[in-house]
A and B are shown apart, each in its own frame.
Chain A
Amino acid sequence: MNEQDMLTDLILESKEHLETIEPDLLELEQKGQDVSSEIVNSIFRAVHSVKGGFGFFGKTHIVELSHAMENVMSRVRDGEIAVTPELVDALLQGLDKLRAMLDDVEGSESMSFDQERALLQPFLSAASAPETPTGNDSDSLSELRSRHPEVTDDHLKDAIKNGRQVYQINLDTAKELTAKERKTADLFTEWEKFGIVLDTQPPLLKQKQGRPKRPPKDISIVFTTILESDLVADALQIDSDAILTIDLRPFREQLRQKNRPAENDNSGKTDTKATAVKKKDNQFEDALRVRVNLLNNLMNFAGELVLARNQLLQTMTHQFEETPKSEMLVRTIMESVTEFIGRLDSSTGTHAGNAAVENELHSLESRIRSLMKFPLSEVRSLASIVQNVDVVTTMLQEGIMQTRLQPLAVVFNKFPRVIRDLAKNLGKQIVLEQVGQDVELDKSLIELLSDPLTHLVRNCADHGIEDPSVREKAGKPKEGHVVLRAYQEGGKVIIEVTDDGAGVDADRVRTKAVERGIITAEQAQTMNDREALLLIFSPGFSTAQNVSDISGRGVGMDVVKTNIERMGGTVEIESEHGQGTSIILRLPLTLAIIPSLIVSIADRRFAIPQVGLEEIVRIRAGDVTKRVERIGEAEVIRLRGNLLPLVQLSDVLHIAPTFIDPKTGERRIDRRSRWSDRRGNPETQQAAESVYKEKRTGTPDRRASLSNAVKIAVLRAEKNRYGLVVDDVLDSEEIVVKPLPEYLKSSSCYAGATIMGDGKVAMILDPNGIASLADLHFDEIDKQAQKDKSKNVTVAETEKLLLFSTGGTELFGVNLGTIARIEKRSLEEVEMIGDKQLVTYDDSSLRLFHLHRFLPAISPSEPDQTMYILVPKNASRPFGFVTSRVKDTVETSIQIETHSVNGPGIRGSALINEKMTVILDMESLLQQAEQAF
Chain B
Amino acid sequence: MIRQYATFRLNEHLYGIDVLLVREINRHIDLTEVSPAPEFVRGLVNLRGQIVTIIDPGVRLGLGTRQMLDTSCSIVLKTRQETDRMVKEGLLAEHTPKDTVGILVDSIDDMVLFDEQEIEAPPPNVNGVDGTYISGLIKLENQLLSLLRLDRLLSSAQ
Contacts and interface: CB of A to CB of B under 8 A. Distances in A.
B51 A738 contact: yes
Contacts of B43: 761
A300 B32 contact: no
B37 interface: yes
Contact of B41 (A604, A655, A743): A743
Interface residues of A, number: 26
Contacts of B33: 604
Contacts of A604: 32-33
Interface string B29-71: 0101111111001011110111101010000000000000000
A307 B41 CA distance: 26
A307 B46 CA distance: 11
Contacts of B99: 741-743
Interface string A698-741: 00000000000000000000000000000000000000001001
Most buried by B among A301, A655, A741: A741
Interface in B1-40: 30, 32-38
A300 B34 contact: no
A759 B34 contact: no
A762 B32 contact: yes
B49 A744 contact: no
B142 interface: no
User: Interface majority SS on A: helix, strand, loop or mixed?
Assistant: mixed
Contacts of A300: 48-50
Contacts, number: 66
A744 B37 contact: yes
A750 B35 CA distance: 10
Interface in A648-676: 653-655
Contacts of B50: 300
B156 interface: yes
A759 B30 contact: yes
A301 B48 contact: yes
Contacts of A762: 32
Given A742-B98, A761-B44, A654 B53 contact: no
Interface string A753-778: 10100011111000000000000000
Contact of B37 (A303, A304, A743, A755): A743
Nearest to A293: B81
Given A741-B44, A742-B97, A743-B99, A653 B36 contact: yes
A606 to B, nearest CB: 10
Chain B's interface size range is: 20 to 34
Given A742-B156, A753-B51, A761 B36 contact: no
Nearest to A304: B49
Given A753-B44, A760-B46, A741 B35 contact: no
A653 B35 CA distance: 5
Contacts of A761: 32, 43-46, 51
User: Interface majority SS on B: helix, strand, loop or mixed?
Assistant: loop
Contacts of A749: 36
Contacts of B97: 742
A161 B39 CA distance: 65
A750 B37 CA distance: 11
A367 interface: no
Contacts of A753: 44, 51
A872 B150 CA distance: 57
A371 B97 CA distance: 54
Nearest to B32: A761
A113 B157 CA distance: 46
Contacts of B48: 300-301, 304
B103 to A, nearest CB: 12
Contacts of B34: 744, 747, 750, 763
A746 B35 contact: no
B30 A760 contact: yes
Most buried by B among A654, A655, A743, A749: A743
Contacts of A755: 46, 49, 51
A724 to B, nearest CB: 16
A889 to B, nearest CB: 36
Contact of B53 (A655, A741, A746): A741
A745 interface: yes
A747 B36 CA distance: 6
Closest 4 A/B residue pairs (Cβ): A300-B49, A304-B49, A761-B32, A761-B44
Given A743-B55, A746-B158, 19 more contacts: A301-B48, A303-B49, A304-B48, A304-B49, A653-B35, A654-B35, A654-B36, A741-B51, A742-B53, A742-B98, A743-B38, A747-B37, A749-B36, A753-B51, A755-B51, A760-B32, A761-B43, A761-B46, A763-B44
Interface of B: 30, 32-38, 41, 43-46, 48-51, 53, 55, 97-99, 101, 156, 158
8 contacts: A604-B32, A655-B35, A742-B156, A743-B41, A744-B41, A755-B46, A761-B43, A763-B32
